[in-house]
A and B are shown apart, each in its own frame.
Chain A
Amino acid sequence: MKKLLMTAAAAGALMLGAGGASAEAVKLQLKWVTQAQFAGYYVAQEKGYYKAAGLDVTIMPGGPDINPEQVLAGGGADVIVDWMPSALASREKGSPVVNIAQPFKHSGLMLTCRKETGIASPADFKNKTLGVWFFGNEYPFMAWMAKLGLKTDGSDGGVKVLKQNFNVDPLLQKQADCISTMTYNEYHQILEAGVKADDLVTFKYEDQGVATLEDGLYVLQDKLKDPKFVDTMAKFVKASMKGWNDMATDPKAAVAAVLKNDASGSQTEAHQTTMVDEVSKLVDGSDGTLDPTAAERTVTTLLSAGGEAPVITKKPDGAWTDVVTKAAMAMK
């Protein structure tokens, strides 16, 4: 009798195990709308890499009103794509999220100015109007200005900060002397609007030593205690990085994967092709492993920002881990 029970239990366990393996559901919340910035995930989805790894991945596009950390904290997603400043902020606000992988090696954030304003170097920013994205994206800028010793409160001798909504209008309408751009998106929107690259001056945050880590993968810290979750995430990261890899080698298929998933229908092939090109430069052959020095630099940059609502006030502890990427590397 005892033996029979054990057999039944084993069979049950086997069935449960098999059921789990057939499809582990993973919900991925993106930081922004469907575009080539997330091409790697769409390629992995379209080419069936997730399916092959035994995952059932749902990719949820974001937008200006979606805060990925809030979705994660509310249980609406298992893993999110976000920038490190935002993730560190939620850690300090009592929602411990952890970086498990970092597909973007480089930062794509820039400040782009019209040449006619006479700005040739950051020293010329004084008394100029600069467009900045808020919603948690303002911290690298604040840190940079703190480093330059320029006040951002509108007082004379500082800079005048303009809240830039997510478009390039302030530069085109000459309301701002410089605006925030991403190498892979807004910069090309300016060019597409008819402004010549020769008429622009661009400063990359990375070149100025104030870059913060951009698109990384984050999960809730507590969930990492579960080895099964770590295993699922390792599969997810591995399949995603395969997607990112493919994007670099086969950009055309990446553009097609993005356009196929763009429910809004607002993305154009030309713009997405440029974006795939530029994003490839940022991913730069990453295998998903986070470079701790880059993470430390992000923290240092943020700690120097200051301001009314500082993003972080103390050095975070345990905000990134290599447990998932190590497990992913170990997989065949």
Chain B
Amino acid sequence: MTRSATSKLNDMLPAILFGVAVLVVWEAVVRAFHIAPLLLPPPSAIAARFVHSIPTLAGDFWETLVKAVLPGWALGSLAGLLVALLCDRIPFLRRGLLPLGNFMSVLPLVGIAPIMVMWFGTGVAPNIAVIIIMTFFPMLVNATAGLQASGHLDRDLMRSYGASWGQALIKLRLPAAMPFIFNALKINSTLAMIGAIVAEFFGTRIVGMGFRIQTGSGAQALDLVWSEITVAAVTGSLFYALLVLTERHVTFWHPSYRT
């Protein structure tokens, strides 16, 4: 084992121990106080159910994550970035759209889910629509701020070199905006998960993590509900971690990564 691997393990050890302790206490409390499984199933029952229901969980993962979260997140973020570039090019648009974007990005947009179901019907489309709307504004606001982030001196230098808008964008302003854009991507990864699951609460499909969480609690299959929550938590964390890793490679120059 290399030295850095050992030290990494040392860093993670407290978190792992803490996590295990939580599970042990949970199991002990449920057993000791005879808590009804209807209210809180013990981790052992959840684990057993998880293994038993892997085909169902995998199917729900596919329907929610692959078919809704990823396309919704990508389309919403891309659209936000493109409109931010447009705003950058047309100052009038920026003055008109940005205050609106700021306002919209703090709204609990997930509330539009029932309306999207009415508009887009019974397939996966309303779920993707909810995610696009939820992820669009954070990217618009962040990317717009990011495009203003390069220093005046740098921009002046570009101008004296005779760089066009496009050249300055590619060589200077877009790289400078990357920390902001990645911030939006990370925020959006969480929002997309929430959006997908909540949209399924209102939707009509009978597959997916949100459907299972919602109807499972009504059908008193709480062990299945917790299994889905586990999948959602692990996937959400991995998604986020992947973005952090990519960010480090793309913005290696950023002062926050200097050791």
Contact = CB atoms under 8 A, between A and B. Distances in A.
Contacts, number: 80
**Interface SS of chain B: helix, strand, loop or mixed?**
loop
A175 B121 contact: yes
A70 B224 CA distance: 16
Contact of B218 (A94, A95, A135, A308): A135
B219 interface: yes
B99 interface: no
A323 B184 CA distance: 63
Interface stretch (A51-59, A163-171, A223-231, A264-272): A163-171
Nearest to A311: B219
Interface in A133-150: 134-138
Contacts of B118: 169, 173
A170 B117 CA distance: 10
A95 B204 contact: no
Nearest to A94: B37
A70 B41 CA distance: 12
A135 B204 CA distance: 13
Contact of A67 (B205, B206, B211, B218): B218
B227 to A, nearest CB: 11
A70 B38 contact: yes
Contacts of B219: 86, 89, 134-136, 138, 309, 311
A69 to B, nearest CB: 6
Given A74-B39, A93-B38, A163-B205, A136 B122 contact: no
B43 interface: no
Contact of A90 (B38, B121, B202): B38
Interface in B181-219: 202-206, 211, 214-219
Given A161-B206, A165-B204, A175-B121, A134 B215 contact: yes
A162 interface: yes
- Residue in A93, A163, A170, A175 whose Cβ sees the most chain B Cβ within 10 Å: A163
A200 interface: no
| Size band of the interface chain B makes with A | 20 to 34
Interface in A155-189: 161-165, 169-170, 173, 175
A73 interface: yes
A162 B204 contact: yes
A163 B204 contact: yes
A70 B216 CA distance: 13
A164 B122 CA distance: 10
B196 to A, nearest CB: 15
Interface in B92-143: 118, 121-122
Contacts of A169: 118
B56 interface: yes
A58 B222 CA distance: 28
A40 B37 CA distance: 32
A163 B37 CA distance: 26
A51 to B, nearest CB: 32
Contacts of B121: 175
Contacts of A74: 36, 39
Contacts of A165: 202, 204
A132 B215 CA distance: 12
Contacts of B37: 93-95
B60 to A, nearest CB: 10
B221 interface: yes
Contacts of B221: 93, 309
A165 B205 CA distance: 11
B150 to A, nearest CB: 49
Given A74-B39, A90-B38, A67 B220 contact: yes
Nearest to B211: A163
B206 A89 contact: no
B215 A135 contact: yes
B211 A73 contact: no
A209 B151 CA distance: 77
Contact of A136 (B53, B220, B224): B220
Nearest to B207: A154
Contacts of A164: 204
5 contacts: A70-B220, A74-B39, A137-B218, A163-B204, A163-B206
Interface of A: 67, 69-70, 73-74, 86, 89-90, 93-95, 129, 131-132, 134-138, 161-165, 169-170, 173, 175, 308-309, 311
